[in-house]
A = this chain, B = another copy of it.
Amino acid sequence: MPSTIGTALRVTVWGQSHSAAIGCVVEGLPAGYTIDQEALARFMARRAPGQDAWTTPRKEADRVIFLSGLNPAGETCGAPLALMIENTNTRSGDYDELRRIPRPGHADWTAQVKWGGHQDVAGGGHFSGRLTAPLCAAGGIAKQLLATRGVIVAAHLLEVAGVQDTRFSRQPDLLARQVEALGHATFPVIDRDASDAMLAEIERARRDLDSVGGVVECVVTGLPAGIGSPMFDGIESTIARAVFGIPAVKGLEFGSGFDAARRRGSDNNDPYGIKDGAVYPLTNNAGGNLGGITTGAPLVLRMAVKPTPSIARAQQSVDMIALEPATLEVRGRHDPCIAPRAVPVAEAVAALAVLDSWLAWPAQAATGERFA
């Protein structure tokens, strides 16, 4: 179903930009886990706009209200976990022309075809980037559960407006330090110089009444080997289905990704060695999985985020009802770059996909000993 992902861990996202609230229902969380609500709030804050120079002034509280799924001790109790975030800070006047004039790069036109005028147009309705908030709440919970097993999910801005950050290192110790440093960063970038240059580009775009895009790189460390499946429930397929459901994402690659297309096999293959008495790939062009199943090396993925479609300059559009050309000027304030906000969303969906795959694993052709 459109707004639902997962097999063993299922998340159903609901809400429109201007409905009373937005939220999600998470089914399949193992019982007995305590959710650190402060840590969750900090994770949510990484996504919330209106806090920094590169984002929209529209302040959203993003306070997660738990409606069900916890027992009196505050632990997950095995029942579906429902959470809600109230929509409190809106500017309905910003969106009046949307019934007639579709915004280029948004889903206004396609929603009109699908729902014939009944769709909720304000703020983009169910297509709004705001819906990544409950997705982040669910993913933030998944991150916490994974962390109890030593699995860390981290992401950063690999690139903004062509300015490159340092990549996540293939050296475990250095990677750990990079991840730790990102935990303290206000802007999710490893290299400080790159950070400054990116912010400058974003500001330049804002002054030009324009927007820029970026690339988010995400890594998942500490996963055991064997998680996932061949074919269509492989770890890459599971992550991909979720990632392309994030608004503004137009590309995804794993490991050496598109670069693999330009390498020789002798270079792109990862040879095996023995590490700590176990089999382990000596390099990681595979991005942590082969045949859809994890190898024990970090999962590495990169997603391309397009430049914010809403820009404060005139654009050529049409009147969908009168069927004639029309000019659109998008009012209201919008992020000149969505990519920084996509960083926690990338972590959220990766965490959900990985935890889902891990929970479903015994159910997907586990070895004989596991069916009890």
Contact = CB atoms under 8 A, between A and B. Distances in A.
A214 B261 contact: yes
A16 interface: yes
Chief secondary structure at chain A's binding surface: mixed
Contacts of A210: 264-266
B368 A30 contact: yes
A269 B315 contact: yes
Contact of A372 (B107, B238, B365): B365
Nearest to A240: B240
Nearest to A75: B118
A13 B231 contact: yes
A189 to B, nearest CB: 15
A293 B229 CA distance: 28
Nearest to A294: B110
Q: Oligomeric state, in number of copies?
A: 4
A6 B309 CA distance: 30
Contacts of A365: 2, 27-31, 76, 78-79, 114-115, 372
Interface string A207-250: 01011111100000000111011111110111011111101001
B29 A264 contact: no
Contact of A240 (B110, B121, B243): B243
A233 B1 contact: yes
B261 A258 contact: no
Interface string A272-303: 11100111011001110111111100000000
From A20, A23, A72, A262, name the one whose CB has the most chain B CB atoms within 10 angstroms: A262
A51 interface: no
Contact of A261 (B67, B125, B215, B359): B215
A167 interface: no
A255 B266 CA distance: 31
Interface stretch (A35-43, A55-63, A179-187, A318-326): A318-326
A174 interface: no
Contacts of A13: 80, 231
A215 B318 CA distance: 36
B306 A260 contact: yes
A371 B286 CA distance: 25
B317 A272 contact: yes
Given A30-B370, A116-B367, A250-B258, 11 more contacts: A14-B82, A19-B68, A78-B119, A102-B272, A210-B265, A215-B258, A251-B258, A256-B306, A260-B304, A269-B311, A279-B318
